[in-house]
Amino acid sequence: MLKEALLWEEFTGKSVRCQLCMRKCNIDDGNIGWCQTRLNKDGKLYALTYGKVAVLSVSSIEKKPMFNFFPGTLWLSLGSLGCNFQCHGCQSWEVSHCDVKKGLSNTSYLSPEMAVRKAKKNGCKGIAFTYNEPTMWFEYVLDVFKLAKQEGISTCFVTNGYMSPKALDMLAPYLDGFCLDVKGAFMESYTRIADVSDINIVFSNGSDAKRKFAIHVEIVTNVIPGYNSNEKEMKEIAAWIFAELGKDTPWHLTRFFPYGGLKDVAPTPINQLENLRNMALREGLLYVYISNVSGHEAANTYCQNCKKALIKRKEYDVVESKLKEGHCAHCNAIICGRFAFNG
């Protein structure tokens, strides 16, 4: 049975206009939208991927990556098919950019009740929607999140931030963590990296998540040499985080590895990531991490006051924590984030 979609309006005749993301596709009867997950059937819009799980794992929150958000806890992590971006170096091409209608035969149905039960059974702190863009199965995410909150399970959304403001409004009351992928500061970079040309919404959604809805926000930027890696662009992102989200907002600088359409681009030099991290710290950000570099000490959380290591990580696991109820065990400074005692 098809699930009727949320967030669309009648257009002309049997055409509809999808209002889920900023592409706002006009979809004729019998056709699907740009993301392939929405079908117009007889003038009504349906969500093709409701509950259709393509990827499922129980993994640490560090893998999202979220570092100042219940560090070291396990999360039921779910992904489906389809995306509203087309990133040439996408690491989850198989699920994000497959033929969605055909790919559905390789998914399994997991009801919202079963998802919450599975999270509890596996001792998970919460449920995270990740792998593909979770906006694409909005109706399911919303149903799972509503049930999760009733059952005391936390929620996390790993996203490109391109949903409509209305979609964010509807998710926000049930959302604890928002991991936002910022691909650059300038339109030109977004167009080259992701084939997207209107990027203001990414920044306003990030800002609304933090300021308007008080959701815990962390920013992730995959630093791609020759695309967004120049200091000017990265400084813009740091300045935006500082001004709009606050200096306590963690920023993850991820090392790029060649993949898919960007397989000829070299991996990000580690010293470039270190220089960018130092720049961001100079700009005033308190928690700047380097991700995807095995054993790098910038994967640890440091106290912004005494500079000592508080949470030591190895790969994606917490191996030591000197955090005492959200305070530094060395100097008692308050560490910003959501931790077990205030979650």
Chain residues binding Zn ion by CB under 5 A are 303, 305-306, 328, 330-331, 333
Smallest CA-to-CA distance from 196 within 95, 90, 86, 93 is with 86
Planar angle of CA 275, 277, 278, nearest 5 degrees: 65
Minimum distance of Zn ion from residue 287's CB (angstroms): 13
Minimum distance of Zn ion from residue 302's CB (angstroms): 8
Amino acid 79 reads G
Element (H, E) at 53: strand 52-53
Please, are residues 81 and 98 in contact by the beta-carbon 8 Å criterion? Answer: yes
Element (H, E) at 171: helix 165-171
Smallest CA-to-CA distance from 81 within 112, 64, 102 is with 102
C-beta of 58 vs 309, nearer to Zn ion: 309
C-beta of 243 vs 329, nearer to Zn ion: 329
C-beta of 251 vs 302, nearer to Zn ion: 302
C-beta of 14 vs 330, nearer to Zn ion: 330
Minimum distance of Zn ion from residue 288's CB (angstroms): 17
Q: Are strands 26-27 and 16-18 parallel, antiparallel or unpaired?
A: antiparallel
Minimum distance of Zn ion from residue 307's CB (angstroms): 7
Minimum distance of Zn ion from residue 222's CB (angstroms): 30
| Distance from the Cα of residue 103 to its chain's centroid | 22
CA atoms within 13 A on the CB side of 167: 28
C-beta of 68 vs 222, nearer to Zn ion: 68
